[in-house]
Amino acid sequence: MRHLILILFCSFVFSNISFTQCANAGNDTVFEICKNTLFNLDSLLSDSAAVDGDWVSPFGNPVTNTTVLSSNFIGQYAYTYIVYDSICNTSDTAKALIKVIVGCTGSINEQSESFLQLSPNPVRTEIMITIPEGEVLQKVTVLNALGQEVYQLDKPKNKLDVSGLDTGIYTIKIEVKNKSYAKRFVKL
């Protein structure tokens, strides 16, 4: 009597497979805003956008602070969001077109006019920041004409030494109780 013995060899291979989404800057957006109004560039990103990208201003400069002040001039300003991916060796861009419009009411600029006073303006050395009595300055940021942060101070006093700034037009942005106000000044 013969027996047939059949031996089957099976093997199991386990591997971890991961899928990497290459660079994704999201979709282009268009945003209408009033003159001299603060807004956050990151809030304009679409849901699919990677969060580790870099913003570039309409003038081609890197944006270091994503909370920016819209222009004092009516027009269209294109910010670019760039995402780089070293794994896929790719990059992707998305445009955020900011349309600065007229006819706005209740803009931050109008609120700033009654809330925030700067003197003297123009200024050479020291500018006085006046806000309503009882309010406390939490943060002061100074932006140059390109929207780049040139000075920042947490828990500042009401006087700000601007003697080290170059001659030009600047925007001072203050934070009080989680609200932001902005106003321009001229450095002589």
What pLDDT digit, counting tens, does each position of 11-35 carry? 556 666 555 568 888 888 887 787 8
Per the CATH hierarchy, to which homologous superfamily does domain 108-187 belong? Macroglobulin (MG2) domain (2.60.40.1930)
Stretch (H or E) spanning 113: helix 108-115
- Residue 175: which of 128, 127, 139 has the closest Cα? 139
Find out whether 86 and 153 touch, Cβ atoms under 8 Å: no
Whole-number pLDDT of residue 10 = 56
Question: For the chain, what are the domain ranges?
Answer: 29-101, 108-187
Bridge partners, residue 166, by sequence: none
Instruction: Tell me which CATH code domain 29-101 carries.
Output: 2.60.40.1080
Whole-number pLDDT of residue 171 = 83
Judge if pTM exceeds 0.75: no
Res 186 pLDDT > 90: no
Decide whether 29-101 matches 108-187 in CATH topology.
Answer: yes
**What gap in Å lies between CA 169 and CA 36, rounded to an integer?**
13
State the amino acid at position 158 in one-letter form. Answer: N
